[in-house]
């Protein structure tokens, strides 16, 4: 079955950090009914306190990795941001998952059999170019937990269904600024786990690579399909400029089940 690729067209002469480039979808075939979308993060960043606060004012927005950590190993959390397509009226959001690719296996010497907290970032924008531990949206306290991401070794690690969060993103796009990801354990367990970021070098012009992703399953209303969905503009502060251009940002496939080659987490 043909896979459509939504491609960010960026000319070499354009400074993409100062422009809102539109993702465009080549081709004319229209998928209707139930369709699975793979939406790659358009900005992300890790923030780190370090072990004694020595990293709290450092910015890691251009790094090729994300991380979470707790305890004497240091305190780290990560932020990811997505922009979802605008679907025609009557489109149902059937299922959605947030997934990060865990690049290691017990890399900190501790089990990978853990759940990682996920919280929706509401009403406070952040930029990968400037975010630090000290100025992050949740600098004033622990975020509310909206979901749990189940860690898997050297594989996509994902949440359970977060269709409600995606519906909220669609209904109030100016109020939702992505997700925060962190680990907290009242027992004091020491954990540090790493993930690929949206700047991962595996991400190519026609391949979303191992960038953080939202996988979203929709059902279009009768007479409507993918050609009626408007692909998103990138945020002005996206951090994709270091990747080969143009950059694929959205992938979709017709069908009611997640495509096997996407390796969506169970």
Question: What are the tens digits of pLDDT across the range 122-179?
Answer: 999 999 999 999 999 998 667 889 999 999 999 999 999 999 999 999 999 999 999 9
pTM: 0.89
* Residue whose structure tokens are 């502060």: 237
Q: What is the pLDDT of residues 200-223, one digit of tens each?
A: 877 777 788 899 999 999 999 999
Q: Are 44 and 239 in contact (CB under 8 A)?
A: yes
Question: Between the CA of residue 31 and those of 6, 34, 35, 224, 252, what are the distances in Å?
Answer: 14, 8, 7, 9, 9
**Spatial CA neighbour of 51 closest among 36, 73, 28:** 73
Q: Is there a contact between 177 and 168 (Cβ–Cβ < 8 Å)?
A: no
Domain boundaries, the chain: 4-262
Q: What is the pLDDT averaged over residues 39-43? A: 95
Q: List Cβ neighbours of 102 (8 Å cut-off, separation of 6 or more).
A: 112, 151, 152, 153, 154, 155, 156, 157, 193, 194, 195
Higher pLDDT, 103 or 185: 103
Residue 142, pLDDT score: 72
Indicate if the pLDDT at residue 26 is higher than 70. no
């Amino acid at each position: 079955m043909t896979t459509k690729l939504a491609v960010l067209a960026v000319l070499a002469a354009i400074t993409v950090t100062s422009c809102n480039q539109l993702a465009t979808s080549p081709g004319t075939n229209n998928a209707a009914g139930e369709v699975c979308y793979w939406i790659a993060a358009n900005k992300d960043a890790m923030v780190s306190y370090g072990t004694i606060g020595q990293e709290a004012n450092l910015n890691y927005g251009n790094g090729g990795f994300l991380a979470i950590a707790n305890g004497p190993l240091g305190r780290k959390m990560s932020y990811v941001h997505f922009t979802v397509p605008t679907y025609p009226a009557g489109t149902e959001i059937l299922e959605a998952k947030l997934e990060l690719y865990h690049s290691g296996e017990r890399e900190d010497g501790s089990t990978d059999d853990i759940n990682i907290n996920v919280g929706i970032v509401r009403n406070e924008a952040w930029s990968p170019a400037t975010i630090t531990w000290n100025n992050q949206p949740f600098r004033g306290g622990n975020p509310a937990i909206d979901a749990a991401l189940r860690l898997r070794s050297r594989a996509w690690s994902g949440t359970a269904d977060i269709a409600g969060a995606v519906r909220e993103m669609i209904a109030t796009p100016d109020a939702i600024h992505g997700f925060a990801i962190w680990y907290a354990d009242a027992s004091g367990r020491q954990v540090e786990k790493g993930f690929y970021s949206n700047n991962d070098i595996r991400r190519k012009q026609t391949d979303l690579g191992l960038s953080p992703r939202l996988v979203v399953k929709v059902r279009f209303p009768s007479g409507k399909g993918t050609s009626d969905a408007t692909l998103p503009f990138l945020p002005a502060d996206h951090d994709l400029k270091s990747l080969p251009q143009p950059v694929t940002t959205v992938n979709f496939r017709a069908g009611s089940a997640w495509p096997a080659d996407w390796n969506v987490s169970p």
